[in-house]
Every structure is written in C-alpha cells, then in structure tokens.
Structure 1
C-alpha cells in the first residue's frame, strides 16, 4: 500500500532529499544509486536508504541490470505514481468531462472539441510570443509551459554540420524543448490525438519555424522533446 507523507515529513530535510531524487529520476529516466549519490553529493548508503523509502511508498521501482563484471546494477525509475506526484493542472476532472462528451455526443465531437481547444491555445501562445528573436520566444514559451504544470526546459540544439564561421548563427536558429512530465498525461493516454494537436499548436505559435517531435512520453520514453528550427528562406525565383 502506498504510504502518505505527513505534513511534518514533507517539510523535513530528509523529504527534501527524496524530492531531489524524484526530480533527478524524472529528468534522467533511469539511474543507479551511485549516479544519484554523485549528483546529490551524498553517500551511496544514504541514497539507498532514501530509495528504500521511496520504493515502499510506490513512487519508484527498479530493474536489475546484469553488469559484465561484478554484481548486477539496480536501475531506479519513477513508477506511475511517481510521475503523478508532480504537478498536474488538468487531472482527472478534464478526462472525466471528455469521457462524458464522448458518451453523450460521440468520439467525433471530442476530436473537434480538442482541435478547437488547441487552436485557441495556439493563438494565445502566438500573442504572448510576439515577433521577438527566436531565443527570447523559446524562453517565453518555456515559462508558459511551466506555468501550466510542465517541467520544461529549453536549450540550443547542437549543429555539428554548421560551418565554424556560421556556428553561432546556426545555433541561435535551432532549439530543443524538453518536457519531463506531462500535465495532461491522463488525457493523452486516453486520447493520444491531443499530442498531434499539441505539435500543431507549437507550429502555429511559431509560424517562421519547423517543429519536430523528437521524444514522446506516451510512446514509452521518459520525456517529450521538440526540435524547433527557423525555416530556411527560399530565394526569389529569377525573372526570365
């Protein structure tokens, strides 16, 4: 049975360390006790005590990976309950509402409802982002996503093929948005088309960019990722 943390536990230094472990696993996907200890700069023995508590609370789980030499490694990762531990703005009420619409009006109406919702959200995003340089728009977009419950980050994409003289320019035209949790996870699992609408939303909000999904939580990966690149301007056709 999952253990609930008391108010006293949630404010203790020990619980703070466990929160750090959960956030590290959210970003990393899987990790050994040694890797977690190195990141938090505490002893592996201390980490294992916290991992035992988290596992008994059903917030994490582990798999055994056989190493080529020595003892097998325990790889820890968040459980489903562990992912639900993080902020979720939409939770079960929105999913229940969509299920009611599907039962009452049919699945096609749900599809149209979701489409209109994402179109409206895309318009809101576009107005917030404005026509600032792409780097600034990416920072604003990440803040918008964070405000909606996503643990989002953004960094410049590495362009290995860019010429040295044009490297800075190339990097400022390509960014990767990473979201380590999904604020609409329950909805996405039941109605995976919302992920396609979300991708379209980013494309509408950033009309001068191409947006490509690189990672997908619903597809079994531990994060969602999007590659945003400035569209290449086509040279005008030569007049005859």
Structure 2
C-alpha cells in the first residue's frame, strides 16, 4: 500500500470514528475490508499524531477490548463554520442596538486580550516582546512569520486570519488588533497590508525605538 492510500485509509478511519463513535479494531477491520494488523498500523500513526485515543472496556464475555475515539485535535479536522453564527449574532446586535454596540464588543475583546497577555510582556525588551507576540499569534492560528528589516525594525506577517470572515464585514476588528499590538509592544506599529482588504497577508511594521 503506497503513502497516498495510507493517508486515504486514515481519513476513512477518522470519518468512521466521527460518525459511529467508539469502535474496536475488529469493527474497523470489518468495515474497511482489511486485516486487523493493517488497522493497528494506521491507528498507531493516528495515535502518535494525537488524533485518536483509546480506552479499555470490559465485555459481557471474553477479554476487555480497546475502543478508539477522536481527540479534540481531530475534531479540528472537520469543517466548523462558526463564523456564520458569529456574523448572524453581530447582525442581530446591530439591528437591536446599533453599530456602536458592535464596536464596543470588539473594544471589550481587545482589552481582555491585552489583560491576558500583558504579563508575558512585563520586564522584556522590545525584541523579546515582538518575539513573544509572534508566538502568541502563532498559537492562535495566525500562521506568523517574523522578519527583521535592514534598519533593525520588525515585520510581523500573518498568513491566516481565524476571524477573517468577521473582519471582512466589521473592520473595527482589524483596528482593535492593531491597537492591541501597539499596547502590548509599547511601540509604534503600522499595518501595511491586510487580508480583510484583499491583501495576501496581514503585515505589521514595528519601529524599533
């Protein structure tokens, strides 16, 4: 079996566990039409990647058996269009309370994020704060690349925006992110490119004082 077939089989296993719940090796082997040994090989890979886990369950007859299930990491592989719900709720808020209320919502989120991360910036140099911010954004799914310019300034490039669908409609989300960067870094920050405005990335130029 080649690598492409292996990947395809593992995707089928993940889908089976998503739709059918707890399954044993024997049950998966029967549904896939392959040997239990082959199933275990795929399960070992999925377990190593943190996508599945197992628990030992006692049977009415015979020895206990391992039943496999998806981890939270695996759940992220399946489509979840939360932004539709978010946009619907924000639209409803605009109808009920006006555009200003949505802006207040984003401002409140910004202040919460600053409070959450400001301790990680305390006592650090600007260089260290910039790297810390890049780590924070990476952990939040922004796919960050950090550059240092010829004159010693920094550029944070974000190639993914988890809230892009929301930011496309409510630009205040972008201005709040810029404001958060300035507050956490204690430096002058300029956004030079924006995904929500048709750019290939969000780019932030940070001036070294």
Name the TM-score class by shorter chain: 0.5 to 0.7
Considering fraction of residues, name the structure with more helix: 2
1:185, distance to aligned residue in structure 2 (A): 0.4
Q: Which residue of 154, 175, 181 corresponds with 1:175? A: 154
Aligned twin of 2:199: 221
The within-5 A match list for 1:1-240 is: 8-9=7-8, 91-159=83-151, 171=152, 174-207=153-186, 209-231=187-209
Contact 1:88 1:184 in 2 (8 A): no
- Distance in 1, matches of 2:125 and 2:199, equals 31
Query: What stretches of structure 1 of length at least 5 have no aligned partner?
Result: 1-5, 13-84, 160-170, 232-240
- 1:176: Cα distance to partner? 0.7
Cα deviation code 1:102-160 (max 9, x no counterpart): 2222211111111121122123232222221222222211121112111112121222x
Q: Structure 2 length normalisation: TM-score?
A: 0.59
Partner Cα distance (2:80, 2:172) in 1: 19
Q: Distance in 2 between matches of 1:89 and 1:129?
A: 33
| Deviation of 1:214 (Å) | 1.4
Is the CA contact (8 Å cut-off) linking 2:168 and 2:197 kept in structure 1? Answer: no
| Cα RMSD after superposing both structures | 2.9
Q: TM-score normalized by structure 1?
A: 0.52
Report the Cα distance in structure 2 between the residues aligned to 1:153 and 1:11, rounded to whole angstroms: 31
Structure 1 residues 179, 152: closer, same or farther in 2, change over 3 A?
same
Give the conservation status (yes or no) of the 8 Å contact 2:121–2:132. Answer: yes
Q: Within 2, Cα distance between the matches of 1:7 and 1:95?
A: 38
Secondary structure (helix, strand or coil) at the match of 1:121 reads: helix
Structure 2 residue ranges without an equivalent (≥5): 12-76
Q: Could you list the per-position Cα deviations for residues 61-97 of structure 1 after superposition, in whole angstroms to 9, with x for gaps in the alignment? A: xxxxxxxxxxxxxxxxxxxxxxxx9x99963333332
Relative contact order higher in (CA < 8 Å, ≥ 6 apart): 1
Please give the alpha-carbon distance, in whole angstroms, between the structure 2 residues aligned to 1:10 and 1:175.
44
- For 1:98 and 1:205, how far apart are their aligned partners in 2? 27
The structure having more radius of gyration, on CA atoms, is 2
Aligned length: 140
